[in-house]
Amino acid sequence: MSEMLYWKALNRAMDAEMAADETVLTLGEDVGLYGGTYRVTEGLMAKYGEWRVRDTPISENSFTGLGVGAAMLGLRPVVEIMTINFALLAMDAIVNMAAKIPFMSGGQFPMPLTIRMPGGVARQLGAQHSQRLEHQLMNVPGLRIVVPATPQDAYWQLRQAIRSDDPIIVLEHELLYFSKGEVDEAAEAPPIHQAVVRRQGRDITCIAYSQMFPLALQAAEQLATEGIELTIIDPRSLSPIDWETCARSVEQTHRCLIVEEDCRFAGAGAEFAATLQERCFYLLDAPIYRVAGIDLPTPFNGTLEAASIPRVEDIVLAARQIMTPPGESA
């Protein structure tokens, strides 16, 4: 086990899979000579050559469609879309091709395609470069979506995605790339879509994914000084969702708080809230709360940008409100 940066864990995962299977290749803008915008493909072109590490033109729908075709022919392509914002240009290949071909062909054409997408609010990149878009991808039957929040999960889940015969979107938050964590490359990975209880508490189940997970942990430590104990669940996957782990925790705490960076309206948090309300309604002691981004394009101004997405203090305030009896103020 060693401490590793998030981007390096992804790089090691790519390297390991390319070494183990010559059908694995990667393609995208600047993945070759430049080594990837966030260094994830650094050194791979020198090691595996231009055929398996391919720089592409700036044409997302074209090179994502190329990945679809390569997967149909038995290769295991890893497509890097430079940011999730540019995935909007590749939605035809993702939605109409990758997600549907296995079903429409009656299983004759599996789709061992991995699509990596950095995204999220990352310090004044402007509204067109700060989107999350997981809600759009979650609404596409046939796609699987993972959201690794730690270097260990980045390593595990990317390797598992590459080995899968289904199209899997790997959503990587741009602010996590230079976060550090322990990575055990020899450890056995849990199932790719299994949620993990990161912290155990008695009062509130807090479900937080991607960049919101470390913020939820910070909030939990602050709340513990006030006598409020949070269970923190990292879902690790947004499609499918591990409902059993989430529901089991809500059954223990009787309260639920969902934290997401994406906009609140019709977001991933809405799906968590609706399904857990159906499964746990008679066990809840308070309404399910959601802390999410404000429903507006992300401002460029740094102060306004920070105010448009959840902060630690927002999670703390929401937890206090959940624990406050009706009629009293938090």
- Catalytic residues, which ones? 60, 129
Q: Contact at 8 Å (CB) between 250 and 283? A: yes
Spatial distance between the Cα atoms of 88 and 60, rounded to a whole number of angstroms: 9
Using a CB cutoff of 8 Å and minimum separation of 24, what contacts does 125-130 make? Answer: 126/298, 126/300, 127/297, 127/298, 127/299, 127/300, 128/85, 129/83, 129/85, 130/85, 130/298, 130/305
3-state helix/strand/coil string of the chain: CEEEEHHHHHHHHHHHHHHHCCCEEEEECCCCCCCCCCCCCCCHHHHHCCCCEEECCCCHHHHHHHHHHHHHCCCEEEEECCCHHHHHHHHHHHHHHHCCHHHHCCCCCCCCCEEEEEECCCCCCCHHHCCCCHHHHHCCCCCEEECCCCHHHHHHHHHHHHHCCCCEEEEEEHHHCCCEEEECCCCCCCCCCCCEEEECCCCEEEEECCCHHHHHHHHHHHHHCCCCCEEEEECCEEECCCHHHHHHHHHHHCCEEEEEEEECCCCHHHHHHHHHHHHHHHHCCCCCEEEEECCCCCCCCHHHHHHCCCCHHHHHHHHHHHHCCCCCCC
